[in-house]
Structure 1
Amino acid sequence: MAFDSQFQERMSRAMEEYRRSDSEMRMNAPGAEPPKQPEVKKTSEKKEAVDGSVEITFDPEGNTANMILHKPLNGGRPITYQLVMAELARKGITTGIDELDVKDMVEGKVYDTPICVARAIPPKRGENGSIKFRFEKQRIPKPKYDEFGIADFRELDIIVPIKKGDIIADITPPTPGEPGINIFGRAIKAEPGTMPNITVGKNTLMTADGKQIVAACSGHILYGTGCFNVEDTVTVKSDLDISVGNINFDGDVLIKGNVMEGFSIKAGRNIHIEGTVFSSNLSAGGNIVVNGGAISSHVECGGDASIGFCENSDIKAGGKVESAQFAFCTVFCYGELIAKGRTGVISGGKITSMKNVTAGVIGSEKYTSTEINIGDGSVTCARKREAEAELAAAKASFSQANKNVEFLKTRKKRQGGKLTDVQSKQMKTETQNKVFYSVRCKELEELISQLDADLKHRDDLCAKVGGTIYPGCHFCINYLSLDVTQVNTRSKVCVIGDELQIVPL
């Protein structure tokens, strides 16, 4: 019997379903054994070894570097000191490495812990500059004591003299500092020190190297407006008294008040007193001007003296002397003596002038004894003889110095154009002597010429009086003398022939 294909397919599915149902019934039946699982074969897999490693990190500026060691795994090779150093070198880290820390970490097997192993060498900041003054900012008046311990409050020593070029302050410039080195071996710029605040005062200057402040002129030094200043004039805005003390100064002195009794002023140049000088001493290398008067004082100067009035004073000047009144004064001057104005009076005392005397009145109605001396031929002749003797000596010294220079020049040629150290010093000295005596000879020749002119014109000296000459006056011009026995007005005392005469102006 033949089966079609569809029938066979249905039969196959039915048989398969039957077998599956039967199998499930057996498995679920009570007391049935579970089905056996297929055996799985076990296989042993070996893990891969991992070597120890080092991790290096650093900041961009290169100030520090940190290191982390990683532990080897599965029997991997441990990290070594040489490997760490090689890694640092590969990163370019060459400076500031703490090799001891690296060894301790490697040998101590310190893993997974960041530790700083390299540090930059920091720069050292420069030291700040400084300024050290050689003078006190505030001068405290201190009286001088004698050997018996007695204080002299006229000598307070408050004027501090200074010469041109003297050092006022020493300046220490700031240092640039020392550069550092980062961990890559590159320089780290150091911060330089700062310059001190320096103010250069009046008549002072800083040297070219910037290390000192010096005086630009001679004078006296004082502190004010935040710096030291050099003044070429000592100015006292009040009277010169116990609050100021005596003044001894190489420059000019200006007193805007009076000079009180017992004090003194000594100046290298000029003195100007706006008030009056009372029983004091004035001495100047230049001129002296006293707007008021000089009473019972000593006045001496190398130049001219101009005093409002003079009473009982001793005056000596290298130039002319002017005053409205000379009352019982002793005066000596190399220039003219002038009692200013039509009422300018010379009364009493002794007046000596190397040149003319001009006054309004000489003597007084009481016939006060008054001595007037004009010119001194003997003094001029003596000065001329001294100058001629000095000129002869100077010429001889110049000649000798010139011979020595020429001799050394000859020796230099013979010695191959060289001189010994001793000969070089001698050449320098003789050359300086030659220049000095050459200049001195010219100065002496000019002086002798001037003295000759003075001697030639000494007979022209006279005393001119626009007002009255009273009896009691005694005149002496060169070697000639005259006693006045009667009143004379608008007259001139001069040399006529071989005698002194009073003639009308």
Structure 2
Amino acid sequence: MADDRFHLEFREDGVYLSASEGADYSMPSVVGFLKSKGVENYNGDAVMTFLSRKDGVPAKVAERDPEQEKEASLEVKISSDAMAAELWIEPPFGDKPWPSVDQVVEFLSAQGVVEGVDRGLVSEVLSEKKARSWTVVASGTAAIDGAEADFDYKVQFGSAKPKEEDESGRVDLKNLSSVTVVMKNQMLAEKIPATEGMDGVTVKGLVLKAKKGKDRPLPAGAGTYASEDGIHLFSLIDGNLVLKGGKLHVVPVFQVDGDVDYSVGNINFIGAVLVNGAVREGFEIVSSGDIEIRGVVEGAHLASKGSISVTGGIRGMNKAKIEADGNITVGFIDQAHVRSGQNITVTNAVLHSDLAAHGNVTVLGGQKSQIAGGKVQAGLEVLCLTLGSEMGTKTEVVVGVLAELTERKKHLLSLLAESEEKGEKIEANLSFLKKLEASGQLDENKRALMISLTKAKFQLQSQLGSAKDELRIIEEQMENSKTKGCVRVKGICYPGVTVSVRGLTYIVREKQQFCSFVYDGGEVKVKPFDY
């Protein structure tokens, strides 16, 4: 930047230097000013005299030298990759003019710098008279390659990490998130398309071509389907979402290759569950489909809307609770609570357990196909090889109408009566509101009430239909129990067994073989096995 304390005057006999009145200056500032003006041949003694006088009178400090009195000169330096250009300004002599911004830009263009020139920066350099230093005044634009296609996964995968703490600060380590349950037609992933990229350019105007982002197909695996535009991926079925080989698969079966323990956690799944190992004590499997356990079940809880199969058996420790709407098939049962909406089939022993099936309980097929201890209930029939034990273990067998069915029927009848009464009130209110509507007296509040009551009516009708269907099924089961209930023992029935058929009880006091216990003539009688 020019020093406005000083002024140069170019006379025929030499170069004269003067200073503003009252200005404070030193030798470095004076010499610096002279050099900035291109006066290199100054007289040192004359400068010292000027410094000592400080009277404001112009002092001759140099002779005129036509060879030094030149216009400003420009130089440009372009980087090897042509992505930057630097400007060097050799200042003009004395009061000769500095170049304009347009003149600098024109010079740069003549030297091949045609892109990325920062006119604002050039103007700043000129206004500050910044000379004899390299300044970057032009920059190229690098090419930006397009981004590769990516995917936004809409489902959080099970991570086998414990859930958050409860209010007391405890974490249930059994409740892991190892199962990723998805529903039919649920969105699994959204494709983020590849981008084209942006071309760059050098300061010389050479275009730098950008690479187009690589496209990637949706990670569609088994049990999935893509939208027509190829952007969204959906689940084709209800199931477990797994990522395998870079693709998303929805499988209808959740498979555990080892045991259900702390490494897996509790399982709550909407499809079938297959466990190739055991289910350890305290863990839980809840499924809307079938459950198959190829090992043993310890003191665990299994609940299925379908059927349950346990190859190894149930070692319940008086903690196991097994429930299925369908059939239950087990190797053995020891100290467990088992409930089936259809049949229970056991190959070997049932010991000290509580079993109930709406259909049959069958304990056959093994050398130890025995029911001993506890209570076994069946809506239709109990069939076993051995009933009771030589030790006289207290064992109770009940066939006929299950107590839970009786309670459920009672509840449904009460629900139906209550719902019908509620339905009558809704119909009466709707009838009144429709009359108001017909006469043009229905305001907005009453119209909203009428819409609400209409919805309630349809919901109630749906509930009534479901309850009536369930009641019909229960009544059919109860009727079958009245005509078909019996207990059959293919081998030995030991004393200590109590048999109840259709509400009547028979106490076994002597060992029986190849026998049946049936309702006959108002009492329970012992008949041959194949009666």
Residue matched to 1:387: 412
Cross-structure match for 1:257: 277
Task: Look up the SS of the partner of 2:295 in the other structure.
Answer: coil
Aligned with 2:333 (options 294, 306, 310): 310
Letter in 1 for 2:516: K
How big is the shift at 1:339?
A: 1.1
For residue 359 of structure 2, the aligned residue among 304, 321, 335 is 335
- Does the C-alpha gap of structure 1 residues 115 and 482 become closer, same or farther in structure 2, counting only changes over 3 Å? closer
Counterpart of 2:396? Answer: 371
Distance across 2 between alignment mates of 1:270 and 1:251: 7
2:350 to 326, 334, 352: 326
The one-letter amino acid paired with 1:323 is: V
Aligned to 2:256: 236
Aligned-residue offset at 1:484 = 0.4
Asked if 1:495 is matched to 2:519, the reply is yes
Q: TM-score, normalised by structure 1?
A: 0.63
Partner of 1:203: 223
- Measured in 2, the distance between the counterparts of 1:402 and 1:224 equals 56
Larger Rg: 1
Q: Residue deviations 1:333-390, cap 9 Å, x none? A: 2222111248632112211223321122211233222111223476555433332232
Find the counterpart in structure 2 of residue 75 from structure 1: none
Is the contact between residue 218 and residue 233 of structure 2 (CA under 8 Å) also seen in structure 1? no
- Is the Cα–Cα contact under 8 Å of residues 345 and 362 in structure 2 kept in the other structure? yes
Greater alpha carbon shift after TM alignment, 444-453 vs 265-274:
444-453
Aligned to 1:476: 500
* Whole-angstrom CA distance in 1 between matches of 2:113 and 2:480: 108
Q: Which residue of 1 aligns with 2:293?
A: 273
How far is 1:243 from its partner? 3.1
Q: How many Å apart are 1:135 and its aligned residue?
A: 4.3
- Provide the C-alpha distance between the structure 2 equivalents of 1:313 and 1:483, rounded to a whole number of angstroms: 24
Task: Please give the secondary structure, in 1, of the residue aligned with 2:331.
Answer: strand
Aligned with 1:360 (options 364, 385, 390) = 385
Post-superposition shift, 1:172? 3.8
* 3-state SS of 2:359 partner: coil
Cα deviations by residue, 1:395-453 (Å, 9 ceiling, x for unpaired): 3444555566666666666669xx98867765654444444333433333344444444
Letter in structure 2 aligned against 1:463: V
C-alpha deviation, 1:125, in angstroms: 10
CA distance in 2, matches of 1:454, 1:142: 44
Measured at CA, do residues 151 and 384 of structure 1 come closer, stay the same or move farther in structure 2, by a change above 3 Å?
Answer: closer
User: Are 2:292 and 2:309, in contact at CA under 8 Å, matched by a contact in 1?
Assistant: yes
Q: Which residue of 1 aligns with 2:490?
A: 466
Q: Which residue identity does 2:506 align to in structure 1? A: L
Cα distance between partner residues in 1 of 2:397 and 2:495: 13
- Alpha-carbon distance between aligned partners in 1 of 2:430 and 2:333, rounded to the nearest angstrom: 56
SS in 1 for 2:419: helix
Paired AA for residue 395 in structure 1:
E
For the residues of structure 2 that align with 1:420 and 1:229, how far apart are their CA atoms? Answer: 54
- 1:486 is aligned to 510
| Unaligned residue ranges in structure 1 (runs of 5+) | 1-99, 106-111, 118-123, 179-189
Q: Structure 1 pair 219/414, CA: closer, same or farther in 2 (3 Å)? A: farther
For 1:125 and 1:415, locate their aligned partners in 2 and report how far apart those are by CA, in whole Å. Answer: 69
Q: Which amino acid aligns with 1:375?
A: G
Quickly say closer, same or farther: Cα 1:381–1:194, change in 2 above 3 A.
same
Of 362-371 and 446-455, the range deviating more from structure 2? 446-455
Query: How far apart are residue 139 of structure 1 and its match?
Result: 2.9
Counterpart-to-counterpart distance in 1, 2:291 and 2:213:
48
Quote how far apart the aligned CAs of 1:500 are. Answer: 1.7
Q: Report what 1:287 is aligned to.
A: 307
Q: Whole-Å Cα distance in 1 between the matches of residues 452 and 458 of structure 2? A: 10
8 Å CA contact retained: 2:239, 2:270: yes
Comparing 452-461 with 280-289, which one deviates more in the overlay? 452-461
Asked if the contact 2:162–2:171 (Cα under 8 Å) also holds between the matched residues in 1, the reply is no
Question: Contact 1:356–1:374 at 8 Å: present in 2 too?
Answer: yes
Partner SS for 1:312:
strand
Q: Name the CA shift for 1:380/1:161 in 2 (closer, same or farther; >3 Å).
A: closer
Letter in 2 for 1:245: G
The answer to whether 1:217 aligns with 2:237 is: yes
Percent of counterpart pairs with the same letter? 24
Letter matched to residue 436 of structure 1: Q
For the residue of structure 1 that corresponds to 2:389, the secondary structure is coil
Q: Is the 8 A contact 1:131 1:196 kept in 2?
A: no
CA RMSD of aligned residues (A): 4.5
The amino acid of 1:350's aligned partner reads K
Q: Is the 8 A contact 2:158 2:178 kept in 1?
A: no
Could you list the per-position Cα deviations for residues 54-76 of structure 1 after superposition, in whole angstroms to 9, with x for gaps in the alignment?
Answer: xxxxxxxxxxxxxxxxxxxxxxx
Alignment check: 8 A CA contact 1:466 1:489 kept: yes
One-letter amino acid matched to 1:218: D
Contact 1:162 1:220 in 2 (8 A): yes
**Whole-angstrom CA distance in 2 between matches of 1:163 and 1:332:** 33
- Show the counterpart of 1:170: 190
Q: Distance in 1 between matches of 2:113 and 2:467?
A: 93
Cα 1:128/1:428, change in 2 over 3 Å: farther
- CA 1:214–1:450 in 2, change beyond 3 Å: closer, same or farther? closer
* Residue among 401, 426, 440 paired with 2:463: 440
Q: Distance in 2 between matches of 1:454 and 1:153?
A: 42
Q: Is the 8 A contact 2:259 2:275 kept in 1?
A: yes
- Aligned-pair distance for 1:254? 0.3
Aligned-partner Cα distance in 1 for 2:503–2:332: 30
Tell me, in whole angstroms, the C-alpha distance in 2 between the residues paired with 1:379 and 1:152: 33
The one-letter code matched in structure 2 to 1:158 is S
Q: Secondary structure at the match of 1:386?
A: helix
What letter corresponds to residue 444 of structure 1 in structure 2?
Answer: A
**Retained in 2: the 8 A contact 1:282–1:298?**
yes
d(CA) in 2 for partners of 1:115, 1:366: 108
Q: Conserved in 2, the CA contact under 8 Å of 1:342 and 1:359?
A: no
Worse overlay, 142-151 or 453-462: 142-151
Tell me how far 1:192 sits from its aligned partner.
8.8
- Is contact 1:377-1:478 (8 Å) kept? no
Contact map agreement 1:143 1:154 (CA 8 A) in 2: no
* Equivalent-residue separation in structure 1 for 2:521 and 2:281 (angstroms): 49
In structure 2, the CA distance between the partners of 1:134 and 1:389, relative to structure 1 (3 Å rule), is same
Secondary structure in 2 matching 1:313: strand
| Aligned 8 A contact 2:398 2:499 in 1 | yes
Range moving further from structure 2, 397-406 or 364-373: 397-406
Change (3 A) 1:396 1:235: same
How far off its partner does 1:153 sit? Answer: 4.8
